[in-house]
Amino acid sequence: MISLAYTPAWFNGKDIIIDLFSILILGLISFYGFMYYRLNRRNKNYIFLAAAFLLMALSFIFKILINFTIYYHVIETKNIGLFTLTYHTVQVSHILFIIGFLLYRVLMLLGLFTLYAIYARPKLATMILMVFLLLVTTYLTTSSYYVFHFTSFLFLLILALHYWKTYRRGRYYSNKLLAWSFGLITLSQIFFVFITLENWFYVGGEFIQLLGYLMLLITFIKVLKDGKKARKK
């Protein structure tokens, strides 16, 4: 049996497809990152980029898992006077939901932080501190839902601005596409913050996320095509 959270009835399952699409794009970029690292092991940024996208892809897998609830059968007994009654009941396990949500948030934030660290180049001590703070804020704060989406929003905004600045410096079209895709994914985080007010925000957030990842796919295809074009020149 499937139980879905946040989604309006007509959107049930469609968000899973959007998340699966996001996993595919993230996985693809991660795979190519690993492959290019094997070609040029001197540039460690490839492996960090691959790890960052892999962490984000894994986080979406856990996001999908939290849509599923485990139902299990229990045999219970009750004593009523002289009689002992034995019967089957169905109970809901929330363990998958709790672990799934926690891993979804932790992996996503670690992924975004890894990507951020490629460009910001923080010192080791700063990195350890940041990871500690990310874990603490994800797990211990009472409003962890808002903290998670706001932190993701900040990381994504910094990354989108970084890609935009890179585009302004070199006027390289792929940088512009990348900045736009990260900009859209950043925007989706704002929608997710307001889910508790109205579940339409979830639909809006998911569609913007889909557009963001679609643009990321277009960017990636352009990278591969430009590589081929260069050969023909």
Interface positions with other proteins (CB under 8 A): 32-33, 36, 39-40, 42-43, 45-46, 49, 118-119, 162-163, 166, 170, 172, 174-175, 178, 219, 223-224, 226-228, 230-231
- Decide whether 3 or 43 has the Cβ nearer to other proteins: 43
Q: Rounded to an integer, what distance in angstroms lies between the CA atom of residue 221 and that of residue 4?
A: 33
Residues with Cβ within 8 Å of 119's Cβ and at least 6 positions away in sequence, in order, are: 159, 162
Environment class of 21 (CB within 10 Å of its CB; exposed 0-12, middle 13-18, buried 19+): middle
Can you read off the two tokens belonging to residue 169? 């410096």
With respect to other proteins, which residue has the nearer C-beta, 76 or 226? 226
Residues 6+ apart with CB under 8 A from 93: 69, 70, 71, 72
- Extended beta strands in 5-138, E state: 70-80, 83-93
Q: How far is the CB of 175 from other proteins (least distance, A)?
A: 6
Q: Smallest distance from the beta carbon of 123 to other proteins, in angstroms?
A: 20
Least distance in angstroms from the C-beta of 54 to other proteins? 15
139 exposure class (CB count in 10 Å sphere: 0-12, 13-18, 19+): exposed
Residue number, 81 or 227, with CB nearest to other proteins:
227
The least distance separating other proteins from the CB of residue 142, rounded to whole angstroms, comes to 37
Residue placing its CB nearer to other proteins in the complex, 92 or 224: 224
User: Which residue, 1, 61, 12, 3, is CA-closest to 199?
Assistant: 12
Q: Which is nearer to other proteins, 144 or 166 (CB)?
A: 166
Question: Least distance (Å) from other proteins to the CB of residue 56?
Answer: 14
